Structure 1
Amino acid sequence: MSEAGPVWLYDGVCVLCSGGVQYTLKHERDQRMRFIAIQSLAGRQLARDHGIDPDDPESFLFVEKGRALAKSDGVLALLKHLHGPARILLVGHLLPKPARDWLYERVARNRYRIFGRKSHCELPAPEQRHRFTLPEA
């Protein structure tokens, strides 16, 4: 059995985050990533397990090979799994981590105001639903 793919904990009512999930579904290299909305029971628990307030998330979480990455480290880890134009953001590795996280925090803190907020999490397309659950242990 192959190793489970990474898990992306995202804000399901954030237009930017939901758009990022849709982009990832189209541009992911190996189609193994799982997506968990922080608003779900599993998502709330995963957030709390990693020190993120599920009622006021200031970061998404990217969990890969047992390692949880947040803020800019999570974004850069996610980008490594994609092809397409978003990979240009990998130049972020050239910035010092404090500068990357400062930029990340500005966007995260203002994401609803800039990009908008949905009233509810979208349901994935039927052919993608299996990717919106945690892998079996």
Structure 2
Amino acid sequence: MNGVKHIILFDGVCNLCNGAVQYVIKRDKEGIFKFASLQSEAGKNFLSKSGLPEDHLKSFVYINDDKVYTKSDAALKVAGKLSFPTKLLSVFMIVPRFIRNFFMT
């Protein structure tokens, strides 16, 4: 994907996901994030290029520098790029992934 930066893929039919996108937009002071729904052609294209199935619709995906993050990894990586105090949430990366992801399902 050659240096793709700060792409957030989200479930476009999920109200909670749409709310999360609005939350990020309000706190993205530098305007670094770009968004696509997982159901869109762009979203499916990113999924395919990332090695994820195009029907991978039950997750939050963050792509940055050709690295693909899903579930809690994605959410916490994004939080770390947002304004204070949201960026403090990134400290939860120290919690084991299986515990963090339990709360994401």
Please indicate the TM-score interval, normalised by the length of the shorter structure. 0.7 to 0.9
Aligned to 1:79: 79
Taking the aligned partners of 1:60 and 1:99, their CA distance within structure 2 comes to: 17
Residues 52 and 59 in structure 1, CA contact (< 8 A), matched pair in contact too: no
Taking the aligned partners of 1:52 and 1:18, their CA distance within structure 2 comes to: 21
Percent identity among equivalent residues? 28
Deviation at 1:91, TM superposition (A): 3.8
Residues 76 and 92 in structure 2, CA contact (< 8 A), matched pair in contact too: yes
Aligned length: 102
Gaps of 5+ in 2: none
Which protein has the larger Cα radius of gyration, Structure 1 or Structure 2? Answer: 1
Gaps of 5+ in 1: 107-137
Residues 52 and 58 in structure 1, CA contact (< 8 A), matched pair in contact too: no
Deviation at 1:103, TM superposition (A): 1.6
Give the TM-score, by structure 2 length. 0.81
Aligned to 1:19: 19
Residues 29 and 81 in structure 1, CA contact (< 8 A), matched pair in contact too: no
Taking the aligned partners of 2:16 and 2:84, their CA distance within structure 1 comes to: 17
- Give a deviation string over 1:27-82, Cα, whole Å, max 9, x none: 0132021101111111122224432453x622111000111111111111110111
Give the TM-score, by structure 1 length. 0.64
* Compared CA separation, residues 87 and 32, structure 1 to 2 (3 A): closer
Aligned to 1:68: 68
RMSD in angstroms over aligned alpha carbons?
2.1
